[in-house]
Amino acid sequence: MSELIDRIGVCVERGKVNIASPFPNDMKGQEGADELTRQALDAGVKPDEILQTCNAGMQRIGERFSKNEVFVPELLMAAKAMHAVMAHLKPFFKSGTVKAKGKFVLGTVAGDLHDIGKNLVAMVVEGNGWEVIDLGVDVKTPKFLDTIKAHPGCAVGLSALLTTTMVNMSKTVAEIKSNFPATNVIVGGAPLTMDAAMKMGADGYSSDPQGAVAFLDRLSIGG
Ligand code: B1M
């Protein structure tokens, strides 16, 4: 079983989406992230375990990208393979929703196109009973402000994966706080830290989706 799980991580790292995918050349004709994830779930592997191996695969491709061993096309294929896995995992993260605890407006900040982590946050938060209004990627401040206005009482989550877009995140947090001081804002994403989040004026920071749920649940019980 552990071999099957490892293979999913390798498929994500190598960008092997499914059996029909001709990329990468040396994996032509082999099953990909799509088929192997289905097999693993059918065999009773926990979705969390699959997610863990995929995150490790993403980590490896990121490190190779940093060393100039692979380039943007390889990152894109890795993201595509990750999406194939997530399509299978989504129902597990979403199950259990009963009645919305509140609204959570979520988006990746301006200039940033990374959405895999943000999508995971959306799934887990939704699965924990919150209505998620996902604004997508490269979300400019006015879009956040308009959405907050349209959904009074909502909480807001901002994601950033680039050190350069943390600057935009900071500006968006400031605008939200200046226009809607009572709105609770949580930030997250690989380059963020609690310290950076507090300096931006955010109310919370989490390094993972579960921490975002904990933050939101504290709000919903008035804590
Ligand atoms: Co980009 N990229 N990328 N990339 N990419 C990184 C982030 C990078 C670290 C790679 C590297 O150099 N090692 C680097 C950033 C360096 C930096 O600024 N510190 C980088 C770069 C430089 C770039 C480009 C500039 C490359 C170029 O064009 N020269 C470019 C920028 C494009 C843009 O955004 N304007 C770029 C492009 C891309 C792709 C489009 C090819 C693709 C994204 C596809 C997509 O998302 N649809 C991509 C990818 C895949 C990556 C890596 C390999 C993987 C990111 C990922 O999905 N991780 C990444 C390297 C790495 O992370 N090791 C890299 C898996 C995901 C589950 O984790 O997103 O961290 P993550 O989310 C986590 C937590 O952070 C947290 O929960 C999630 C689940 O645990 N979290 C939150 C996230 N948001 C949260 C919000 C919360 C709470 C928790 O509350 C609201």
The domain spanning residue 177 has which CATH number?
Answer: 3.40.50.280
Q: Is the pTM of this model over 0.85?
A: yes
Q: Is the distance from the beta carbon of residue 84 to the nearest atom of ligand 1 less than 6 Å?
A: no
Would the pLDDT of 98 be above 60?
no
Would the pLDDT of 223 be above 80?
no
- Number of domains comprising the chain: 2
Q: How far is the CA of 162 from the centre of ligand 1 (A)?
A: 7
Give residue 135's pLDDT. 98
In this structure, which amino acid lies at residue 98? Answer: V
Pick the residue whose CA is nearest to atom 80 on ligand 1.
Answer: 208
Q: Which atom of ligand 1 is nearest to the CA of 208?
A: 77
Q: 40 and 22, same structural domain?
A: yes
pLDDT digits (tens, 9 = 90+) for 172-220: 999 999 999 999 999 999 999 999 999 999 999 999 888 999 999 998 6
Q: 192 and 218, same structural domain?
A: yes
Tokens (6 digits) for 71: 């380039």
CA distance 212 to 105: 12
Q: 138 and 186, same structural domain?
A: yes
Q: In 10 A of CB 138, how many CB atoms?
A: 17
Domain stops at, among 95, 121, 148: 95
Q: 112 and 61, same structural domain?
A: no
From residue 140, alpha-carbon distances to 130, 134, 144, 157, 169 in Å are 23, 13, 7, 13, 9
Pick the residue whose CA is nearest to atom 48 on ligand 1.
Answer: 75
Q: 83 and 67, same structural domain?
A: yes
Q: 162 and 75, same structural domain?
A: no
Q: What residues make up the domain containing 173?
A: 103-222
Q: Is the distance from the beta carbon of residue 161 to the nearest atom of ligand 1 less than 6 Å?
A: yes
